[in-house]
Structures are given as structure tokens and as C-alpha cells.
Amino acid sequence: MSLLDTSVSVLARPHRAGLPFIVGAVLAGMVGGLIWSALLWMGLAAALFCAFFFRDPQRAVPTRAGLILAPADGRVLSIATVPPPPELALGAAPRVRVATFLSVFDVHVNRSPCAGTVMAIAYQPGTFLNAAEERAAAENERNAIALELPDGRTVAVVQIAGLIARRIVCEIEERQSLRAGQRIGLIRFGSRVDLYLPEGAAPLVAVGQRMVGGETVVADLASSEPARTAELV
């Protein structure tokens, strides 16, 4: 990524869910500044951080049918074969789960991994463990989404709150038709997003790889390529 691309991403317009935080920080700084000038600068710094955190850059979304895209920015935390969330009623057959960990420096706007119809949305209250922990997938607060592809296969996306994240925002509804890469919500201040591939699909990403939501191809349903491996060099 060039310096220009990085600058455009950092300076992207913030998502509307971040506006109350940005405006609130500015107002708090202005009021506090009447008491102590340093509070004004602290408020402005907080507003700048919120604008950075809630940035919502445009993405070049691949549109070919059969591609499953990353639903979030971040680092691939783990790839495992496990049953999908029971609340989505997708059956108990194990699927490949690609877990992506988002730090506070990643873009937190989540995107649809493919074109499809929202079959179910299921919110589950829970704890706020470190999202990098394996048990966070089952114990943390989460919002699970099941999508039906045009060919009848299904994909699941799970927004998982983390140690700092305390609010999951879901902007879609059941029976809604989504485009690949369409914005579906976000998680405030650090989180994890799990992607459950259709049964039999092989992941084309590896643990430790950086993901770009709406751009990185996680799987290709039209390809017979086996699961990829990688090493850090």
C-alpha cells in the first residue's frame, strides 16, 4: 500500500455510528476547556481518535460469483473446523471457521462476505473475554448472521465483542438481500469476526495473514484448490 493509499484510508469519512462519540468528545473538550485549557486538547485528541477508529474507507470489492470475502479487517487469528453457532440452526456438521482479530487500529466496519439473503440474525449476550481467546467464540457477547447464497449454500458471520468492545452494531435485517462487500455493521473498540464457510469449502488464507474487509478472498467456491498454508519470513 502506498503512502497515498494509507492517507486516504486514515482520513476516510467516519461511519455514522461514530458521530456521537466524535461530537461528544469535542463538546466535552470545549466545556472542560473553560475550566482547564488542557482538557480542551484532551477532548480534541479523543475526537481525532474516534474519527480514526470509526473510519469507513471505500473498498474495491471483487464481484465474481463464488468468491467468499473477508467480512472484516484484521489478522487471521485461527482456522478451525467446528460446528456453526447453534442459534443459527445451520446443523451440527463441522465447517471451516476463519477467525479474524481486530485491534483498535483496524477498520471496524464489517462487510458481507458474499451476495446472498439474510436467513437469520441471532444476538447472544455474554462475557467480554479477550477476543483472541478460543472460548470467546462461545462465551462472549455476539451477533450471528446466516446468509443463503444464490445456489442454496450458506455462510455464517459472527460479530464477537472483545475485552474492550462493549457494543455490537448490526445494520441489516432478516430476509434482506445483500451485495458482496456491503456494510453490515461494526463493533466498537476492538473485537473479533468469525466467518463460517459453506461445507466443503477450503480457505485460501492462512493464520497470521492480514485481511482487508470486502477485498481479501477467503474462499473460492468455483475452485478445487486445497487449503493454503503459509509461513512467516
Q: Which residues are catalytic?
A: 191
Smallest Cα–Cα separation from 180: which of 157, 203, 200?
157
Which amino acid is present at 84?
P
Name the 3-class secondary structure at 18.
helix
185 Cβ partners below 8 Å, 6+ apart?
Answer: 109, 110, 143, 159, 168, 169, 170, 171, 172
Per this entry, what is the length of the chain?
Answer: 233
The answer to whether 48 touches 26, Cβ cutoff 8 Å, is no
How far is CA 181 from its chain centroid? 11
How far is CA 34 from its chain centroid? 39
How far apart are the C-alpha atoms of 2 and 20, rounded to whole Å? 31
